[in-house]
C-alpha cells in the first residue's frame, strides 16, 4: 500500500464527492449514477475529505486497449483505476482525483459466472477502484489481505455479501 494507514472502519464520509459517469459502452444494463455515488462515497476513507472522480463505462475492445496500453496486458479487464497522483502519497487537504473505467461486458460476464447480481458486482468493483485511487493495492499478500478486508467491510455496510467468501472455503 502506498498511502498511510487509515481508519479501516471508514466511519466518516467524505465531505464532498464530485462524480461523473460516462456510459460509452452503449450498454443499458448499468447501475444508476446514484448507485455509483453511494458506492464510491462509502469507499472514501480518512484522510480523504473530498474527491473528484470520473467513472467511464466502455466496451470490451476499448477496455482491452486501455489495459494493454497502461498495464501491458492484452485483454479486457473488469475495472481499471487511474489516480492523478499515481504512485504518490495522498496529500491531506487536497482532493482525491482519478478515473475508474469499467468494461461492461466483462463485468456482466463475471457477475453471471459468479452468481452475483450485476449491482453487487458493480458495487464491489467501484469500491475496489476507489481504494486503488487512494493508494491501496493487492500486489503483495499482506496488501491484498488488507484491501480485501476493507472491501468486505465497506460492502457489508452497503448491504452486500463478502465477495471473497467463496475463495476462503
How far is 54 from 69, CA to CA, in rounded Å? 19
Residue numbering of the annotated binding site for Zn(2+): 128, 132, 138
Is residue 105 within 8 Å of residue 76, measured between CB atoms? yes
- Residue 57: other Cβ atoms inside 10 A: 23
Q: Dihedral (C-alpha) 147, 17, 83, 134: value to the nearest 10 degrees? A: -30
Alpha helices in the chain (DSSP H): 33-42, 60-71, 104-114, 118-133, 141-157, 165-168
Binding residues, by number, are 128, 132, 138
DSSP label at residue 53: E
Amino acid at each position: 500500500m502506498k498511502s498511510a494507514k487509515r481508519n479501516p472502519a471508514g466511519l466518516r464520509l467524505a465531505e464532498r464527492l464530485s462524480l461523473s459517469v460516462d456510459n460509452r459502452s452503449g450498454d443499458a444494463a448499468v447501475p444508476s449514477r446514484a448507485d455509483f455515488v453511494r458506492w464510491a462515497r462509502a469507499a472514501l476513507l480518512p484522510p480523504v475529505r473530498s474527491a473528484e472522480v470520473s467513472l467511464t463505462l466502455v466496451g470490451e475492445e476499448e477496455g482491452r486497449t486501455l489495459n494493454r496500453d497502461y498495464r501491458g496486458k492484452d485483454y479486457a479487464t473488469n475495472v481499471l483505476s487511474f489516480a492523478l497522483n499515481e504512485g504518490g502519497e495522498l496529500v491531506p487537504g487536497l482532493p482525491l482525483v482519478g478515473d475508474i473505467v469499467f468494461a461492461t461486458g466483462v463485468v456482466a460476464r463475471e457477475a453471471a459466472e459468479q452468481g452475483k447480481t450485476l449491482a453487487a458486482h458493480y458495487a464491489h468493483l467501484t469500491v475496489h477502484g476507489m481504494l486503488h485511487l487512494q493508494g491501496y493495492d493487492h500486489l503483495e499478500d499482506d496488501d491484498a489481505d488488507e484491501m480485501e478486508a476493507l472491501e468486505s467491510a465497506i460492502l457489508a455496510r452497503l448491504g452486500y455479501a463478502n465477495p471473497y467468501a467463496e475463495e476462503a472455503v
